[in-house]
Amino acid sequence: MLNRFSCVFFGTVLLSLPLLSTPEASTAQERPAGVETAPVEVVEMSETSRSFGQVVAERESAVAARVAGIAADVPVRVGSRVKRGDILARLDTELFEIEIARAETELSIAEAGVRVADARLDRAIKASERAESLRLNSTIADATVEERQAALDEALGLKQEAMARVASTRNTIERAEYTLRNATIRAPFDGIVLNVATEIGQFVSSGSEVATLLDLGKVEVRANVPANLVDALQPDSAVAGQTGTGAALSLKLRTILPTEYTTTQTRPVLFEILDASTPVAVGQSVSVDLPISAPREVVVVPKDALVQARGGWSVFVNDAGQATPRPVEIGSAVGGGFEVLSGLQAGDEVVIRGNERLRPGQAIAPSNAGPANAVSGAGNAAQPPASGSTPPSALTGDQSATTSPDDETRRATEIADARGEQG
């Protein structure tokens, strides 16, 4: 009786064990895990080095007064945006208008003098011609002829003097009109007023500053680039930049100035701003990622797909609806991802959201994030993360010569922790 019961009991247990230990049966009863996936891509990458600079104005002018006078009106203030020809200041014009009126009166007098000189010259010419005619008939003395010739010469001189007085007076009028015209100081180009150097009632001397005008349409980035990297820069080459607030800049090399700072062994390089995600300000700090190698095609995995594994990094690949772990070897950071040295190929679909709770072989229900979310801003290379640490955001051009002390400290700590875990 006991033996029969034992056989039945153990037989029941043996029949039940496969049902309890089969993972496929357990997995089949679970709902697929909702995850987000993205494809592994091939991008063109070039190694970069980061240099720092600032936004500078290509044109900044201390607008000066051309004539002296008392400021009667200053319609602008600091921060005012002006167009070319807009009024920056007006001088009192009462005296200038009086001078123009006086010059016009003098011109009338000079013109009247010309008419008098013309009449005198006409009489002198007739008298001289009559004297010559009488001398031929021997009815006039030679001395008389000479006197009339001298009177003619004097009349010619007076005519020339009167005409010169007219020309001089006209020049006086032109000068007075110039003074009146330039009593209104106008903006020489579109820009923004940085400083107003005069106020109503102040005396403005000729050549003194009235306002400082900045041309915001002509701003660029000036960076001090290490001399050993200058030769790698190509004319009109596109360069990525970033402001201190994180705004992206699209730059183009404009020129390399032929000077070098001996203390830092750097050269000033000017970059034209092609596009900016947000408005920039003159003096704003900018980091510039300069290419230091020829572009090459690399396989890139999104940084969010990386999962820390024993001895390195791994990713979960969507294998026909199942999460399959795959170890990977990564290289430099590229935009929003990392270069894959081994373990993946272009087109593999990797999990970038929800991978922290997956198990090998677990069923998944992926939603493809698309290339836009996979590797954003790819194209520039930085250093890979240390094994055993969380992969950092892929900052382009992260070179030891340009990283901040905090970044260096954090970097050293990550590497030391990784080595300790591997040891």
The CATH number covering residue 272 comes to 2.40.30.170
Please report whether residue 162 resides in a domain: yes
| CATH assignment at residue 317 | 2.40.420.20
Is 333 inside a domain boundary?
yes
CB-based contact 118:159 (threshold 8 Å) = yes
Domain of residue 197, CATH code: 2.40.50.100
Residue 365 domain-assigned?
yes
Does residue 189 share a domain with residue 200? yes
Q: Where do runs of H (alpha helix) occur along 65-195?
A: 94-136, 142-181
pTM: predicted TM-score of the whole model, two decimal places: 0.52
Helix (H, G, I), strand (E, B) or coil at 108: helix
Residue numbers of the domain that contains 190 = 66-91+184-213
Specify if 203 maps to a domain. Answer: yes
String of b and e for 40-79 (b: at least 16 CB within 10 Å)?
Answer: bbebebbbbbbbebbbbbeeebebebebebbbeebebeee
Count of the separate structural domains present in the chain: 4
Sheet holding 60-64, edge to edge: 60-64, 209-214, 191-196, 81-82
pLDDT in tens, 292-321: 777 778 889 998 889 887 778 999 999 888
Q: Are residues 333 and 283 in the same domain?
A: no
**Do 378 and 334 fall into the same domain?**
yes
Tokens 């190929």, located at residue: 345
Q: Measure CA 30 to chain center.
A: 55
pLDDT of residue 63: 96
Sequence letter at residue 403: T
Structural contact between residues 41 and 346, judged by C-beta atoms closer than 8 angstroms = yes
Q: What is the pLDDT of residue 375?
A: 53
Same domain flag for 278 and 316: no
Extract the residue ranges of the chain whose pLDDT is less than 70.
1-30, 137-139, 142, 369-423
* Residues facing 179 on adjacent strands: none
Residues 415 and 313 in one domain: yes
Cα 128 from Cα 134, distance rounded (Å): 10
Q: Are 312 and 381 in a shared domain?
A: yes
Strands of 206-336 (E only): list them. Answer: 209-214, 219-226, 238-243, 248-256, 266-276, 285-291, 296-302, 307-309, 312-319, 322-334
25 within a domain of the structure (yes/no) = no
